[in-house]
Amino acid sequence: MNSIMVMKTYVPTEDCSIGALDAPCFRNLLPEEIELVRNSKTHIIFRKGENLTKQGAFASSILFIIDGLAKQYIEGEGNRNFNLRVIKSGEFVGLSIAFNSHRYDYSAVALRETTACLIEKEAIVHLIKGNGEFAFNIINRYCEQNSRLYASLSELMYKQMNGRLAGALLYLWKEQESEDIFPYLSRKDIADFAGLSTESTVKLLKSFEKDGLIKLEDKNVVLLDLPNLEQINVKG
């Protein structure tokens, strides 16, 4: 077991039932495939601030989030990170290791208490090779994650600061389907989603609030003028 898992709360495998894995790719498994998953997984509870994955660490498992909220990011030098996406319940972490990697390409950290099933890489690879419908769903999810990565890189390369922050705020706002996300994020977290410094982000947030685009409520950010934020995002 990787060293990053040492401080986590373990739950017996039986408590991580296949029924808890609420994703389309798990719904049409054959009985022997269900048994393979059941025998290849471990249930873990990550506390707020604990790493689900660590960039560069050896990867032997793919994580499926049963309940929780996390962020995925690339670690840079000097405590400078770039946040790639928000990870929510029903999503996978570490899918790339099933295809082309033995190490995690990014880090992921829990924004609140997060319950996950760690499924051995070999079990996922076996299902991909033997079950076409499972493989289709996994590849579809992998492509969705890559699309988000390409969008993030495009914003970082071609947009100015206003456009990058507007894009980050809109992305986070649209991710709030079942629970608010902003209360779990620091200003540095928002800055890392926009590829900006914390200082620049704080100044721009105050400017956006002054212009009536958003409302700042302690850590929470409420978007008031979506059309104009979209315009700022598009124009960059």
Question: So what's the pLDDT on residue 13?
Answer: 45
Cα–Cα distance measured from residue 81 to residue 173, given in angstroms and rounded to the nearest whole number: 21
Domains of the chain: 3-151 (2.60.120.10), 159-235 (1.10.10.10)
Contact 31, 68 (CB under 8 A): no
Q: Which two tokens stand for residue 208?
A: 């956006």
pLDDT digits (tens, 9 = 90+) for 159-185: 899 999 999 999 999 998 778 999 999
Question: So what's the pLDDT on residue 182?
Answer: 96
Question: So what's the pLDDT on residue 78?
Answer: 75
Q: Is the pLDDT of residue 155 over 80?
A: no
Q: Is the pLDDT of residue 51 over 50?
A: yes
- Give this prediction's pTM: 0.83
pLDDT digits (tens, 9 = 90+) for 105-145: 899 999 999 999 999 999 999 999 999 999 998 888 888 87
pLDDT digits (tens, 9 = 90+) for 200-231: 999 999 999 999 999 999 899 999 999 999 99
Question: So what's the pLDDT on residue 7?
Answer: 44
Q: Is the pLDDT of residue 52 over 90?
A: yes
Q: Is the pLDDT of residue 20 over 90?
A: no
Q: Is the pLDDT of residue 3 over 70?
A: no
Question: So what's the pLDDT on residue 148?
Answer: 76
Cα–Cα distance measured from residue 141 to residue 73, given in angstroms and rounded to the nearest whole number: 18
Q: Which two tokens stand for residue 16?
A: 């991580």
